Amino acid sequence: MEPLPLTNDESGPFAGIYTLTLEQPGKPVVVLDHVLIQRLEASLRLVPRSARGLVLRSASDRVFVAGADLKAISELDDAQLDAYLVYGSRVFAMLSELPCPTAAAMNGAALGGGLELAMHCDALIGAPPPMKDGQPGKPYPVGLPEAGLKICPGWGGTNLLPARMEPRRAIELTMTGTTMMVDEAKAGGLFDAFAPDAAALLSTAKTWVAQAAAKPRMVRDGAPLHWIGRTAQTEHTGRSGVAASTLAALETLAREHEADLASGGSIAAVLDAVNAGLVKGWQKALETERRHLIQLRASPSGREAIAAFFAKAAGKK
């Protein structure tokens, strides 16, 4: 499989920092289909252990990554969908296991699997939308919209988003499939750094990586740096008490949505995956998400919502 573009700063203040570019030539946006994930895997295998850092960026000028391949989610049989999700998780984990600091340079919409991919990096670096005709560009959305399609995240989003912003707010957004505009995400603390303009995004991301590389090396344990079960390495996360505050939010939301828990819908799935992460760990959280996603996409409400999404998309063409 042909790797994605991978470049290295050979000199200057960012020497040794690699930039990996997500691309899908001929397509208007980047979507996490099987081929792209294969190309991402091939590229990550080329990053040397001696790398000073890695920045993940998108070639699209409209989005970072639009999300997972919804066609695959709707059409694969249960075993095939499970394999697709497991494979994606394994490749995304390669980012979390690199010995060097990593950052996602988010230039546009980061939705569903696209945000989950970004959150496997140590840092999220945002930027305002590009100027257009001398005027500020249209704000772009960031978030996990899966519940709006009556499904749930499948690559760890339930356990990743609450570790990067106020947990109750993050879980509520995930339960409802509500996305944030970039300014709201910035105000909510989602980003570790924010570029002054779109043109400065890559240099801002490299600056964050360079500063992180100067600190004592992170201890990798197979889980992303920012997730709800992280109780150590606060010198790198900049956050403490995430597990305790997430547990408190989970208990409150479970009481408030007691009726929804019996329905087996998206709300129940999200809360179950959060609980699985806190009680049984990162891998169990991923397994729980996959199980719910496979079940929900085949439910009558899931099939109806996904069909409506495709019909709406076709109508826009």
- Phi and psi of 21, rounded to 5°? -110, 120
Res 313: pLDDT: 82
Residues 6+ apart with CB under 8 A from 128: 136, 137, 182, 195, 196, 197, 198
Question: Structurally, how many domains does the chain consist of?
Answer: 1
- Cα–Cα distance measured from residue 27 to residue 45, given in angstroms and rounded to the nearest whole number: 25
Res 180: pLDDT: 98
Res 151: pLDDT: 98
Res 317: pLDDT: 63
Report if residue 268 sits inside a domain.
yes
Res 28: pLDDT: 84
Q: Check whether 162 has a pLDDT greater than 70.
A: yes
Percent of the chain scoring above 90 in pLDDT: 88
Report if residue 1 sits inside a domain.
no
Q: Span 234-244, mean pLDDT? A: 92
Note if the pTM is more than 0.95. yes
Taking alpha carbons only, the member of 154, 82, 86, 87 closest to residue 116 is 154
CATH number at residue 45: 3.90.226.10
Residues 6+ apart with CB under 8 A from 164: 119, 124, 170, 189, 190, 226
Range of the domain at 127: 6-316
Report if residue 125 sits inside a domain.
yes
Report if residue 308 sits inside a domain.
yes
**pLDDT tens by residue, 51-107:** 999 999 999 988 999 999 999 999 999 999 999 999 999 999 999 999 999 999 999
Report if residue 284 sits inside a domain.
yes
Cβ atoms of 115 and 157 closer than 8 Å: yes
Percent of the chain scoring above 70 in pLDDT: 100
**What value does the mean pLDDT of the chain take?**
95
Crossing angle for the helix pair 167-176 and 266-280, to the nearest 10 degrees: 140
Q: Span 184-203, mean pLDDT? A: 97
Q: Span 175-199, mean pLDDT? A: 97
**pLDDT tens by residue, 203-221:** 999 999 999 999 998 899 9
Report if residue 109 sits inside a domain.
yes
Q: Span 158-163, mean pLDDT? A: 98
